[in-house]
């Protein structure tokens, strides 16, 4: 479901730009090294063959010429390194921009799929669950089953009380009849894309985190039983835990901001009151 839609090759052009920059830099470095090597070889050959003079030209003059060539080859090397560095920076920026655009595009795809496919199924499931009539008399409730969920969102089936186990599995069958298993298979695929950063979480979080966390929390019994019998739903649980913690943090930040605003308003009121009751100096004093 996720990932099949609007498939795009990741970073193809960015990698190509990076590769070209590396090839250009490598060529310049090889050229500079070759020039340096040629200069050294020629210098040594001249010294061995002609001693202090070559074609009547003083070796000191030749030495100066070769030193100049050697200096120029070093200059070419420095220029090559600088050009290569600039090209690598441009290629890196290009890759970064393309990745950001790709992540934004993928994030919008995820939001569209959540709104058009997952949300209607979740809404339909909640309506079916709410309208289902359960006339069976039982001494247990779903809260009794929730107490069995451990910190990793597992319910140990083997150690479950037989009577509670029978009730829990009846709940499981009822939920499956309303399509919960298919919904969570899709939620797991959706969660995997966000957990593994195929989409930009900062874009996806705002519009859907509330609905996502509320739905998963309402079905923790189903998830924990499924995890207990071998269907891990690891990505769903990982994203639920992360977003729940972030939502709690957001609420705390909001409360702190409201408290600071209230305290600031109180300080202003106190200052205004103090100004009103300040003793007035007598006239003419």
Copy the structure tokens of residue 40: 């050294």
Copy the structure tokens of residue 16: 């190509």
Are 138 and 257 contained in the same domain?
yes
Per-residue confidence at 170, pLDDT binned at 50, 70, 90? Answer: confident
Task: Give 76-94 pLDDT, tens digit per residue.
Answer: 778 877 887 888 888 888 8
Look over the chain and give the mean of its residue pLDDT values, rounded to a whole number: 77
With a cut of 50, say whether residue 8 has pLDDT above it: no
Which long-range contacts does 77-84 make (Cβ < 8 Å, 24+ apart)? 77/28, 77/29, 77/32, 77/33, 77/36, 79/28, 80/25, 80/28, 80/29, 80/31, 80/32, 81/25, 81/28, 81/29, 83/24, 83/25, 83/28, 84/21, 84/22, 84/24, 84/25, 84/26, 84/28, 84/29
Compute CA 280 distance to the chain's CA centroid, rounded to the nearest angstrom.
63
Instruction: Tell me the mean pLDDT in the region 40-52.
Output: 61
Are 154 and 217 contained in the same domain?
yes
Other Cβ atoms within 10 Å of 278 Cβ, number:
8
Are 193 and 84 contained in the same domain?
no
CA distances from 72 to 28, 67, 79 (A): 13, 9, 10
Which pLDDT does position 4 carry in this prediction?
41
The radius of gyration of the chain from alpha carbons, rounded to an integer in Å, stands at 36
Are 147 and 93 contained in the same domain?
no
Per-residue confidence at 249, pLDDT binned at 50, 70, 90? Answer: confident
Of 83, 102, 121, which one is at a domain's C-terminal end? 102
Are 191 and 251 contained in the same domain?
yes
Which pLDDT does position 214 carry in this prediction?
93
Name the strand (E) or helix (H) holding 53: strand 53-54
| 275 belongs to a structural domain | no
- Partners of 54 in the β-ladder: 57
Are 225 and 137 contained in the same domain?
yes
Instruction: Tell me the mean pLDDT in the region 202-225.
Output: 92
User: Does the global pTM surpass 0.75?
Assistant: no
Which pLDDT does position 238 carry in this prediction?
96
Instruction: Tell me the mean pLDDT in the region 126-141.
Output: 68
More confident position, 265 or 279: 265
With a cut of 90, say whether residue 19 has pLDDT above it: no
| 111 belongs to a structural domain | no
What residues have CB less than 8 Å from 87, skipping those under 6 apart?
Answer: 20, 21, 24, 25
Name the strand (E) or helix (H) holding 8: none
Which pLDDT does position 218 carry in this prediction?
92
Are 83 and 40 contained in the same domain?
yes
In contact, 32 and 76? CB cutoff 8 Å: yes
Closest CA to 114 of 14, 40, 205, 246: 205
DSSP state of 58: E
Of 84, 102, 120, which one is at a domain's C-terminal end? 102
Which pLDDT does position 43 carry in this prediction?
63
More confident position, 97 or 11: 97
Are 195 and 249 contained in the same domain?
yes
Which pLDDT does position 82 carry in this prediction?
81
Copy the structure tokens of residue 227: 């995890």
Are 253 and 141 contained in the same domain?
yes
With a cut of 80, say whether residue 71 has pLDDT above it: no
Instruction: Tell me the mean pLDDT in the region 253-272.
Output: 70
With a cut of 70, say whether residue 215 has pLDDT above it: yes
Are 53 and 98 contained in the same domain?
yes
C-alpha span between 152 and 212 (Å, rounded): 19
| Residue 71 domain boundaries | 12-102
Are 171 and 257 contained in the same domain?
yes
Task: Give 139-153 pLDDT, tens digit per residue.
Answer: 677 788 888 888 899
Domain tally, the chain: 2
Are 78 and 166 contained in the same domain?
no
| 118 belongs to a structural domain | no
More confident position, 262 or 201: 201
């Amino acid at each position: 479901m996720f990932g099949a839609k609007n498939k795009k090759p990741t970073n193809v052009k960015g990698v190509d730009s990076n590769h070209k920059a590396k090839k250009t830099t490598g060529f310049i470095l090889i050229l500079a090294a070759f020039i340096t090597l040629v200069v050294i070889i020629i210098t040594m050959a001249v010294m061995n063959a002609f001693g202090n003079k070559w074609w009547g030209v003083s070796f000191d003059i030749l030495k100066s010429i070769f030193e100049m060539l050697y200096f120029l080859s070093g200059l070419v090397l420095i220029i090559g390194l600088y050009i290569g560095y600039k090209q690598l920076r441009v290629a890196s920026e290009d890759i970064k921009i393309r990745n950001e655009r790709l992540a934004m595009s993928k994030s919008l795809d995820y939001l569209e799929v959540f709104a058009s496919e997952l949300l209607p199924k979740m809404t339909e499931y909640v309506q079916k669950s709410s309208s289902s009539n359960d006339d069976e008399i039982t001494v247990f409730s779903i809260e009794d089953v929730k107490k069995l969920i451990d910190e990793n969102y597992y319910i140990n089936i083997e150690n479950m009380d037989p009577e509670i186990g029978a009730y829990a599995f009846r709940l499981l069958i009822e939920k499956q009849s309303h399509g919960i298993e298919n919904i969570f298979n899709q939620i797991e695929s959706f969660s995997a894309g966000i957990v593994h950063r195929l989409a930009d979480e900062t874009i996806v979080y705002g519009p859907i985190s509330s609905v996502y966390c509320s739905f998963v929390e309402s079905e923790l019994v189903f998830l924990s039983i499924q995890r207990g019998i071998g269907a891990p739903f690891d990505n769903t649980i990982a994203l639920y835990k992360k977003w729940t913690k972030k939502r709690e943090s957001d609420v705390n930040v909001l409360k702190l901001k409201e408290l600071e605003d209230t305290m600031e308003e109180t300080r202003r009121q106190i200052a205004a009151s103090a100004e009103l009751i300040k003793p007035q100096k007598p006239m003419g004093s």
